[in-house]
Amino acid sequence: MAKIVASMALSHAPGLSGWLDSVTPQQQAQIAAGFTELRRRFEAAKPDLIIGVANDHMLNMPMKNPPDFCIGTARQWIGPAEFFREWLKMDEYRVGGRPDVAATIERRALGEGVTMMHADTLLFDDNWSVPLHYLTPGHDVPLVPINMNCINAPIPGPERSYRAGQSIVRAIREDLPADLRVAFIGTGGLSHEPGGERYFDVDETFDRWFLDLLGTGDVERILAEATVERMEAAGGGGTAELMAWLVAMAGANDKHADTVFYVPAVEMRCGIGAVTWDFDGKPPA
Amino acid sequence: MPFDPDLPSNHLIYAIRARRDLYENFPAKLKAAAAEYGLSDEEVQAWRDVNVRRLGELGVHPYFLPQITRIMKGAANNNSRSAAAQAYKRSMIDGQ
At A281 the pLDDT is 65
**Could you tell me what percent of chain B has a pLDDT over 70?**
99
pLDDT in tens, A249-278: 999 999 999 999 999 999 999 999 999 999
Residue A214 domain flag? yes
Comparing alpha-carbon positions, the chain B residue that sits nearest to A81 is B18
At B7 the pLDDT is 98
pLDDT in tens, A168-193: 999 999 999 999 999 999 999 999 99
Average pLDDT in chain A: 97
Separation CA A81–CA A79 (nearest Å): 5
pLDDT in tens, B33-47: 999 999 999 999 999
Residues whose CB is less than 8 angstroms from the CB of residue A155 and which lie 6 or more positions away in sequence, other chains included: A68, A149, A228, A240, A243
Count structural domains, chain A: 1
Q: Would the pLDDT of B96 be above 90?
A: no
Is A83 at the interface with chain B, CB within 8 A? Answer: yes
At A172 the pLDDT is 98
> Which residue segment(s) compose the domain that B88 sits in?
8-93
Say if residues A250 and A168 touch (Cβ distance below 8 Å).
yes
**DSSP at A24:** -
At A121 the pLDDT is 97
Cα distances (Å, whole numbers) of residue B93 to A161, B53, B89: 33, 9, 5
Residue A285 domain flag? no
Residue B1 domain flag? no
Is A269 at the interface with chain B, CB within 8 A? Answer: yes
Which one of B3, B10, B17, B89 makes the best mutation probe of the A interface by having the most chain A beta carbons within 10 Å? B17
At A280 the pLDDT is 73
Under an 8 A CB cutoff, do B17 and A194 touch?
Answer: no
Separation CA B42–CA B58 (nearest Å): 9
Count structural domains, chain B: 1
Under an 8 A CB cutoff, do A196 and B92 touch?
Answer: yes
Over residues A141-159, the mean pLDDT reads: 98
Separation CA A143–CA A128 (nearest Å): 9
Say if residues A41 and A283 touch (Cβ distance below 8 Å).
no
Helix (H, G, I), strand (E, B) or coil at B29: helix
**pTM across the whole model:** 0.97
CATH number of the domain encompassing residue A63: 3.40.830.10
At A85 the pLDDT is 98
Residue B21 domain flag? yes
Residue A1 domain flag? no
At A279 the pLDDT is 84
Over residues A16-26, the mean pLDDT reads: 97
Q: Would the pLDDT of A203 be above 80?
A: yes
At A282 the pLDDT is 62
ipTM: 0.96
Residue B86 domain flag? yes
Using pLDDT thresholds of 50, 70 and 90, give the confidence band for residue B64.
very high
Q: How many residues does chain B have?
A: 96
At A283 the pLDDT is 52
Over residues A203-208, the mean pLDDT reads: 98
Q: Would the pLDDT of A167 be above 90?
A: yes
pLDDT in tens, A44-82: 999 999 999 999 999 999 999 999 999 999 999 999 999
Residue A283 domain flag? no
Helix (H, G, I), strand (E, B) or coil at B84: helix
Residue B2 domain flag? no
**Could you tell me what percent of chain A has a pLDDT over 70?**
98
* Candidates B5, B17, B81; nearest CB to A63: B5
**Helix H or strand E segment including A183:** strand A181-187
> Which residue segment(s) compose the domain that A229 sits in?
10-277
At A155 the pLDDT is 98
Using CB atoms within 10 Å of the CB of residue A92, give its burial: 0 to 12 exposed, 13 to 18 middle, 19+ buried: exposed
Q: Would the pLDDT of A284 be above 80?
A: no
**Could you tell me what percent of chain A has a pLDDT over 90?**
97
**DSSP at A7:** E
